[in-house]
Amino acid sequence: MAFARKVWKLLVAIKDGLALLFLLLFFGLLYAGLTMRPNAGQVRKGALLLRLDGAIVEEPSATDPIEQLLSRQASAGEYRSRDIVRALRLAAKDDRIKAVVFDLSRFTGAGAVHLQDIGAAMDRVREAKKPVLTYATLYNDDGVQLAAHASEIWVNPLGGAFVQGPGGNRLFYGGLLEKLKITAHVFRVGTYKSAVEPFIRNDLSPASREASQALYGALWEDWKRDVARARPKADIALVSGDPVGWLKAAGGDTARAAQSAGLVDRLGDEVDFGNRVARLVGEDKSDPGPGHFVHTSLRNWLAANRPEKAGRAIGVITVAGDIVDGDAGPGTAGGDRIAKLLDDAQDKNFAALVVRVDSPGGSITGSERIRAAIMRYKAKRIPIVVSMANLAASGGYWVSTPADRIFAEKGTITGSIGVFAIIPTFEKALSQWGVTTDGVKLTPLSGQPDVISGLSPEISGVLQANVEHSYAHFLGLVGQSRGKTPEQVDTIGQGRVWDGDTARRNGLVDAFGGLDAALTYAAKAAKLKSWHPVYLGESDDQWAALFRRLGGGDDSASQGSARDFAGAVAERRMAILGQALAGAERLAGTRGIQAYCLECPMQSLSGNVRKNVLQGDLAKWVRAAQLPGVR
């Protein structure tokens, strides 16, 4: 009996402890929820501070609140490019903002189109006679391009700035699969459809090398042109052409070398930089300390400047990330999710629809699901306009075909009109271990496709015919959209990717311009004098903001990976490992026929996967990528 009483007391103590824990958690969440929502009263006369702790993207990926709450470190942030551009344009006209400050200490990059759009907005601030200052320990290519538009570029004396240029090596698994006796059955159409080459070759094919050189060459020229226009004194030729000689001339001091080449203006740590900003905008009296200056965060600034909603509504649907079947996203373009967003908004009586695409493609069934939903709007006889961001390739171009007009930027990667399918089989590997198969087959397709015994000639023929049919259908969609015959489209198809400038010349794109240009054209086509955009699927997710806040995210400083050159090398190592895992996912995890572009491997990863690779959290990456057989 005494033993039973002790057990009962233990159970009661556990119950009371759990109740107390959940009560504390509840009140903690309640307090954070009440204090997290920004308001106009939090705008302070001083600097607009953009602390970019992560990547700039078209559409931030969904936040997993439970994982965010339980994780021991804040996840890398994602910042919508359009939000940053709007914040800068507002800052240029608002007398409360005396300067704009970018903290790029943990900035992980952005697409070329986003960098150019933000750079143009920074130029507007400077034209309004307001200084724009940036600070970082290490500037890489994206950081250099962004900072080039600043009036003052600061770097930590222990850091520097480097220019690597586009391109690099890609992983090939042909030799590995041969050693493992794994057969990768590839079904494709398109001489330049390089997405399958890593599984059947040990190097780039001549056609793929030709296409990649042309694409990266065009992007490199655009990058150099943008930086030279914003910062004429920067010696890009020296930094990129003779990096060893450039560093040796500065005695190996990377910060001094960056300053001598005109990539940065001033050297100093965070306190030195903060003191400089404080002299421009004033010290922060509410939080006194070295290097503290009065400022308003990006989140508070946007909350205090809600967009106006005058006139008729123009719908904007975003197709960002890999196109997949199902409800995935945001940050991944789930075909069912996006189609539902479009169908649910049918009763909003939009005057026009703008489709914003930033995707390397993916599943053709997911792509077709989105295209069909857009066509239901086209049936209402309203203008359909496509605005291409960094990527609108393969499936990303498939969903663009309903457009009356397509806008892109010179730095846009598009085209890649081609399809493929991959099925790995293991009959050779298993036979070495004495594993064989046998059975009864009543037709040539019985039990096929069989990844254990191998594919029969009949199923291989069926799959190849299906892929060829899908390619013909793709050509037909593009031809109907662009006023070309399938044969004409085939000459610019074959899986080849194009930069935006070339795509305009070969007829895949109508005009240059960003999202603003597409919206303006849509309004004019709809004969609107007053209008406002409605972004489908976007909401002020307060719970996501709450968990970001609890995790140390948002605008507060958070612990991250080292941002000096050695830290960047380590980060690149993790990215390469992530690329290898992505290759395994494409081989073993791909379902169905794909319209997918491989030229930008990091951008092609879904938002959550890309964040985890950049953070170096491989366990989390594996979970996010859902690799078959890996838990």
Spacing of C-alpha 588 from chain mean position: 23
- Chain position carrying tokens 């099925």: 423
- Output DSSP code: residue 109: B
Catalytic residue among 212, 394, 604, 606: 394
Report the amino acid identity of residue 411: G
Q: Is residue 481 part of a domain?
A: no
Report yes or no on 68 lying in a domain: yes
Per-residue model confidence (pLDDT) at position 629: 33
**CB-based burial of residue 569 (10 Å sphere; 0-12 exposed, 13-18 middle, 19+ buried)?**
exposed
Establish if 156 belongs to a structural domain.
yes
- Dihedral (Cα; 624, 627, 629, 631), 10-degree rounding: -20
Confidence (pLDDT) at 564: 53
Distance CA 12, CA 172 (A): 60
Burial class of 6 by CB neighbour count within 10 A (0 to 12, 13 to 18, 19+): exposed
The CATH number for 288's domain is 3.90.226.10
358 near 439, Cβ under 8 Å?
A: no
DSSP state of 346: G
- Counted residue by residue, the chain has a size of 631
Q: Judge whether 617 lies within some domain.
A: no
Is residue 464 in a domain?
Answer: no
Number of separate domains in the chain: 1
**Does residue 122 fall inside a structural domain?**
yes
Write down the pLDDT at residue 585. 59
Backbone φ and ψ for 418, nearest 5 degrees, come out as: 180, 165
Q: What helix, strand, coil percent values describe the chain, rounded to 5?
A: 45, 20, 35
Whole-prediction pTM = 0.83
Residues 6+ apart with CB under 8 A from 630: 622
Hey, CA dihedral for 113, 114, 119, 120, is it positive or negative?
positive
Q: How far apart are the first and last CA of the chain?
A: 46
- Structure confidence at residue 59 (pLDDT): 95
- State how far the Cα of 325 lies from the Cα of 486, in Å rounded to an integer: 27
Q: How far apart are CA 298 and CA 24, in angstroms?
A: 30
* 193 is known as an active-site residue: yes
φ and ψ at residue 512, rounded to 5 degrees: -85, 145
Which residue segment(s) compose the domain that 278 sits in?
44-163+231-303
Segments of the chain scoring below 70 in pLDDT: 1-8, 10-13, 15-18, 20-41, 63-76, 539-593, 596, 598-631
Q: What is the pLDDT of residue 22?
A: 63
Distance CA 358, CA 40 (A): 32
Select which of 61, 75, 130, 193 is catalytic: 193
Q: Does 531 map to a domain?
A: no
Residue 593 tokens, joined: 């026929």
Among residues 278, 231, 283, the alpha carbon closest in space to that of 126 is found at 231
**394 given a catalytic annotation:** yes
